[in-house]
Amino acid sequence: MCQLTGLCDVRGNNLTGTIPDNIGNCTSFEILDISYNQITGEIPYNIGFLQVATLSLQGNRLTGKIPEVIGLMQALAVLDLSENELVGPIPPIFGNLSYTGKLYLHGNKLTGSIPSELGNMSKLSYLQLNDNKLVGRIPAELGKLEQLFELNLANNVLEGPIPHDISSCTALNQFNVHGNRLTGSIPLTFRNLQSLTYLNLSRNYFSGRIAIELGRIINLDTLDLSSNNFSGPVPASVGDLEHLLTLNLSGNHLNGSLPAEFGNLRSVQTIDMSFNYLSGSIPGELGQLQNLAALILNNNNLKGTIPDQLTNCFSLATLGFAGNPLLCGNWLGSICSPATKSRALFSRTAVVCMALGFITLLSMVIVAVYKSNQPKDLTMGSGKSGQGPPKLVILHMDMAVHTFDDIMRITENLNEKYIIGYGASSTLYKCILKNSRPMAIKRLYTRYPNDMREFETELETVGRIKHRNLVSLHGYSLSPHGNLLFYDYMENGSLWDLLHGPSKKVKLDWETRLKIAVGAAQGLAYLHHDCNPRIIHRDVKSSNILLDENFEAHLSDFGVAKFIPTAETHASTYVLGTIGYIDPEYARTSRVTEKSDVYSFGVVLLELLTGKKAVEQDSNLHQLVCF
């Protein structure tokens, strides 16, 4: 075994026993990754003789102390001892690991203080010490870590204030000290952390006012200051955090009114201001928050009526108003009579009216989208609105001689024998029109509201762009059979079919694989760099790369695509895509950029190179890339 260059393919194999004492003799190892097994015992001292770049023992049952000799392993880039049962202090000698970029010690039973020597790990990007029993103060020396991206110290017993020196970590993206005994206030110098997207100070003993400078950390998508002793008014500057997805200030001593500026938080999905001393009325500006899913304001001193504008928040599913005795609503203890049902904001009648209004608005949007994407107003069938057969809207002249009835007759009303494939929300049919190339008909399901949104998005996206490596939309129709999209038929199906399908009738040589990779990359580059606004596909995968008779690649399925204006670097959104292809950073932050598509395309390239599936037998293809 010691003749190998490393062990990185034994993760998650339920291996038992202990790590051999002579493991240090395997000097040819470059990687030792035995994560997620059932290995017990202590980490042997001789492990320090290895010259590995990655040492990952995560997710086992290792006990005892961390050997100090690990601090002499100068080649280490990744050290992961997390999720074990290790005890004792963190060895200060770890400060000598000047090339280590990732240090994961979370999920153990480590005690003692955080060594100030860790501030000497100049290459450190990830430091996770959460879920241990660490005590003492956060060392100011951590402020010397200029490349630090994530600092997680949650669920320990740390005390004292946050050192102002942390503000010198200008690359910091995530800072989590949840569940400690920290005191003091938020350092004003945190305004310098312009890369910060996640700030969690919850369940501590912080006090004082919430600094208005927080509103200058413009990239924040999560701000959690809950369960502390903050007091005073909520600063209006929080409304400047345009990328914020989660705002939790619950369980403090905040007073004053809810800032009307919260109406500027256009991306926010959750606002929790419960268990404070807020007064005044609920600002109507909250009705501008189209993505708001949870508004929790219970146990305050709010008064007045709930603003009608909240009915504009179509995503709103969770509401919390109880514990505000002066707030007019339909619950026990409200100053409004529960018997006066007509005044209850969310009575049955109001819900029905909201649903009807939403359907009407959605219909208007669909009509507007269709008309704006229609190059020529060519329709077949009845010219009377609302009467006659379904209309076939033509986008390419090669379909101008055909009617909807022609297509239904040829496909026998979309008989199952013409099915050539299935998608997550669609079925594909093949139709050979007279004197025309074969067409592919994409029939989208309309059982759920998001199915209609996918139809709108695909129509808006593909209907406005044209490129040799993107599928070409020839027409569409709203019919009793569902919403239909008409595309070019791709003779060789999808890349997934050729690589993993049951028949694998075509053997792809390396030249063809390269041609497919280049074609797909050119289509993706067009979406990212030549479209205005830029288009993020969000579901790049081998089954969405279709191949014509010449094996030319065509990107397809734009049902979850996202438009990003030129002036913006990213979009905050719900995570969508396919497991195995989703960019981990996008999944963690809900912020999608062109890089998210590039990551997914990288997985496709691995499929092309290896012939393996992205997810197979509980393993991900990207795990082949050991580092």
Other CB atoms within 10 A of residue 428 CB? 21
CATH architecture of 391-488: 2-Layer Sandwich (3.30)
Tens of pLDDT along 220-244? 999 999 999 999 999 999 999 988 9
pTM of whole model > 0.85? no
Residue 238: which residues within 8 A CB-CB, separation 6 or more? 210, 214, 215, 223, 244, 247, 259, 261, 262, 265
Query: What pLDDT does residue 385 have?
Result: 31
Query: What pLDDT does residue 349 have?
Result: 38
Query: What pLDDT does residue 556 have?
Result: 85
In order of 48, 423, 543, the CA distances from 498 in angstroms are 47, 17, 10
Query: What pLDDT does residue 242 have?
Result: 86
Query: Residues 310, 316: contact at Cβ < 8 Å?
Result: yes
Query: What pLDDT does residue 350 have?
Result: 45
Query: What pLDDT does residue 157 have?
Result: 97
539 labelled catalytic: yes
Q: Where do the H-state alpha helices sit in 14-123?
A: none
**What is the domain partition of the chain in residue ranges?**
199-331, 391-488, 493-610
The one catalytic residue in 33, 80, 272, 539 is 539
Query: What pLDDT does residue 60 have?
Result: 94
**Residue found under tokens 């009738």:** 505
Tens of pLDDT along 12-28? 788 899 999 888 887 77
Query: Known binding site: residues?
Result: 442
- List, in sequence order, every residue forming a beta bridge with 326; answer none if it has no partner: 303
Query: What pLDDT does residue 460 have?
Result: 64
* Rounded Cα distance, 525 and 534, in Å: 10
Instruction: Map residue 229 onto helix, strand or coil.
Output: strand
* Rounded Cα distance, 28 and 39, in Å: 22
Low-confidence ranges of the chain (pLDDT < 70): 1-9, 329-402, 423-425, 434-436, 445-464, 502-505, 559-575, 588, 616-627
Domain 493-610 class? mainly alpha
Query: Known binding site for ATP: residues?
Result: 442
Instruction: Map residue 553 onto helix, strand or coil.
Output: strand
Query: What pLDDT does residue 622 have?
Result: 64
* Rounded Cα distance, 362 and 518, in Å: 39
- CATH code of 199-331, in short, is 3.80.10.10
H/E run at residue 602: helix 594-610
Give the DSSP per-residue string, 55-74. Answer: EE--SS--BSBPPGGGGG-T
Query: What pLDDT does residue 341 have?
Result: 40
